[in-house]
Amino acid sequence: MKIAVFNCRPDEKEFFETYSEQYQVELSVTSDPPTLTNISIVEGCIAASVITTPIERDLLNAWKSKGIQTISTRTVGYDHIDLEYAKELGITISNVSYTPHTVAEYTVMTILMTIRKMKTILTRYQVQDYSLFDVRGKELRNMTVGVVGTGKIGEMVIQNLSGFGCKILAYDPYEKESVKSYANYVTLEDLWKESDLITFHTPAIKSTYHMVNRKSLQQMKSGVALINMARGSIIDTDALIEALESGRVSAAALDVIENEGKIYYNDYKHTVTKNHDMAILSAMPNVLMTPHTAFFTDEAVSDMIHYSLESCVAEINGSENPRKVI
Ligand code: COI
């Protein structure tokens, strides 16, 4: 069985070697994203492993004609794949799950960095400015933290935060008994109203698109801090910028942003940026931005590759695949 692997980074190679041996599969590997011009990579393959590049109609048609029967995205999110069209073509799609600790720990780190104004402290240190002006922080134990989305990652964030003694409010349309020992489920309106800091752990679906918008920002506490380690589409970026400019939002940590697609994971140091929102936000001293790296640990990368190859094999062999999306 031959599997095409796209966007293979150098740090992924050792895991692809290990798991291709374990599952006895041959790989056709490229570091490039999948496009219509590199169709030859899928020659002789029946499955493809991808990451965040949009997988749209044209590509699906081209891959189908080359014999691709299943696609696995080495990510939890699968909003970059045209699922409906894949289904029409009879191509199955699966995603992966990986250790929730990776994003949960990164979230707690950025929460602490945000409330302790770490971006300002670190940038000042670089220029030998050791003054205390405007870097006094807050203690988490005195804060109310709202967690939107209590899937695996949201629940882990709640468990990790419980050690800090803060009050934790949670919102999810599907409430979990296990979360109730650490947090109180409330309505979204109450969560907006009562939280000093809100962290998002929801998928990018219709109901979460721009859930942070001008209206919901008005319902939040003045001076709220927002943490988004999930998907850029959850926050209306223009509305967030306005709220940061007016001070209604006091700080933000964003590992994701709308339209990050072709930018993150590339080196643009010598390029003039065309993404104005990103330029504005990253210039703000109270906005901590990272390039979608919350997932990036040894453990998570190993899981991503392991489960991607495992589900390609399961799909092709017709065996049970717990990671099947469609
Ligand atoms: C996911 O797995 O959905 C992520 O957010 C990480 C990925 C973009 C590499």
pLDDT digits (tens, 9 = 90+) for 59-90: 999 999 999 999 999 999 999 999 999 999 99
| Residue 188 backbone phi and psi in degrees, to 5 | -60, -40
Residue 190: pLDDT over 90? yes
Residue 184: pLDDT over 90? yes
On the 0-12 / 13-18 / 19+ scale of CB atoms within 10 A, 263 is middle
295 Cα–ligand 1 center, Å: 6
In which residue are the tokens 């492993």 written?
49
User: What's the CA gap between 30 and 7, in Å, rounded?
Assistant: 6
Identify the pLDDT of residue 103.
98
Which of 252, 197, 242, 201 shows the shortest CA–CA distance to 224? Answer: 197
User: CA 162, 142, 136 angle in degrees (round to 5)?
Assistant: 115
**201 catalytic per annotation:** no
Mean pLDDT, the chain, whole residue set: 97
Identify the pLDDT of residue 145.
99
Closest residue (by CA) to atom 4 of ligand 1?
A: 75
Q: pLDDT tens digit string along 227-244?
A: 999 999 999 999 999 999
Which structure tokens are listed for 33?
Answer: 């994203």
**Which of 7, 50, 75, 229 for a ligand 1 pocket mutation test, highest count of atoms within 8 Å of Cβ?**
75
Q: What percent of the chain has pLDDT over 90?
A: 98
- Burial letters 277-288, b for 16+ CB under 10 A, else e: bbeebeeeebbb
In which residue are the tokens 């504005």 written?
280
Q: pLDDT tens digit string along 271-302?
A: 998 899 999 999 999 999 999 999 999 999 99
Three-state secondary structure call for residue 196? coil
Count of other CB atoms within 10 angstroms of residue 164: 15
The residue-averaged pLDDT of 206-228 equals 98
93 Cα–ligand 1 center, Å: 16
Beta bridge partners of 228: 200, 254
Identify the pLDDT of residue 187.
98
| Residue 287 backbone phi and psi in degrees, to 5 | -120, 115
User: What's the CA gap between 113 and 169, in Å, rounded?
Assistant: 21
Query: Regarding beta strands 70-73 and 47-50, do their DSSP bridges make them parallel or antiparallel, or are they unpaired?
Result: parallel
State whether the beta carbon of 291 lies less than 6 angstroms from ligand 1: no
Residue 262: pLDDT over 90? no
Which structure tokens are listed for 135?
Answer: 């870097």
Question: Residue 261: which pLDDT band, with cuts at 50, 70 and 90?
Answer: confident
State whether the beta carbon of 75 lies less than 6 angstroms from ligand 1: yes
Residue 120: pLDDT over 90? yes
User: What's the CA gap between 236 and 208, in Å, rounded?
Assistant: 11
Identify the pLDDT of residue 264.
93
User: Under 8 Å CB-to-CB from 306, ≥6 apart: which residues?
Assistant: 15, 19
Asked whether 315 and 324 are in contact (CB, 8 A), the reply is yes
Which of 159, 151, 147, 214 shows the shortest CA–CA distance to 185? Answer: 147
**175 catalytic per annotation:** no
State whether the beta carbon of 202 lies less than 6 angstroms from ligand 1: no
pTM score:
0.95
